[in-house]
Structure 1
């Protein structure tokens, strides 16, 4: 029968080997909005040309960082792993605990405000739910 559902375990192994588990899980994920914030530390970037490359709506990567100034530091990077700054210290305690517990968080640029020579990058923080 043409519409019959079959399970082929050998095909699943081939799919995982070729594409990785992440590609299998992506259709089953959703992002849950948690919080509005901004990227702190953009004025301290060694190469601020990254600020010219970002746009509203861009997805960003959040990564915990071992930081001597803030034990809850969360680095904010572009998808290409270019450093933008940090989740502000005043906002990061709950998010760092979630990440330390194995939860995956992401961010998305909601607005870029030009204030003279300074650019404030506003972000939404999301929990990736599987």
Structure 2
């Protein structure tokens, strides 16, 4: 027999409208690893991002090829705008986890405006576990 047999069509129907995200999401959990802050905020070229963020926003963490720090982790907003970096003093373990294929995300825990052009943004880093 060389044909694919579908024994549970309701499972297939779940995956057809909107992909697997809504099926897999309930199977994931986020494990809190560490609290830190966003480094490099004062060097942002597009400071408009500081007006758009809010507490509890989910942030994307992405490894970056960086000549100043070989363990650099870029922090992006949900729409892909650069917010800053995980501080160099904190990124060694997280960069190893990411290099090993682990998915890490962050959430904004507090925002303190220090001046017109600078905000101190505290974040929690989470491991997304399946």
* Alignment TM-score, normalising by the size of structure 2: 0.87
Q: Which residue of 1 aligns with 2:3?
A: none
Residue 17 and residue 69 in structure 1: after superposition, are their counterparts in 2 closer, same or farther (change >3 A)?
farther
What displacement does 1:17 show? Answer: 4.5
Asked if 1:54 is matched to 2:63, the reply is: no
After TM superposition, the runs of 4+ consecutive aligned structure 1 residues lying more than 6 A away are none
Q: CA RMSD in A?
A: 1.7
Cα distance between partner residues in 2 of 1:18 and 1:67: 39
Are 1:82 and 2:93 matched, yes or no? no
Specify the alignment match of 1:126 in structure 2. Answer: 126
Partner of 1:29: 28
| Distance in 1, Cα, partners of 2:19 & 2:94 | 27
- Name stretches of at least 5 consecutive residues in structure 1 with no aligned partner: 1-6
Distance 1:44 1:94 in 2: 24
CA distance in 2 between counterparts of 1:18 and 1:103 reads 27
* Residue equivalent to 1:4: none
Number of aligned residues: 124
3-state SS, counterpart of residue 92 of structure 2: helix
1:3 alignment partner in structure 2:
none
Partner of 2:39, secondary structure, is coil
- Structure 2 unmatched ranges of 5 or more: 1-5
Following TM superposition, by how much is the alpha carbon of 1:24 offset from its aligned partner in structure 2, in angstroms? Answer: 2.0
In the alignment, which residue of structure 2 is the partner of 1:116?
A: 115
Q: Indicate the SS of the match to 1:90.
A: helix
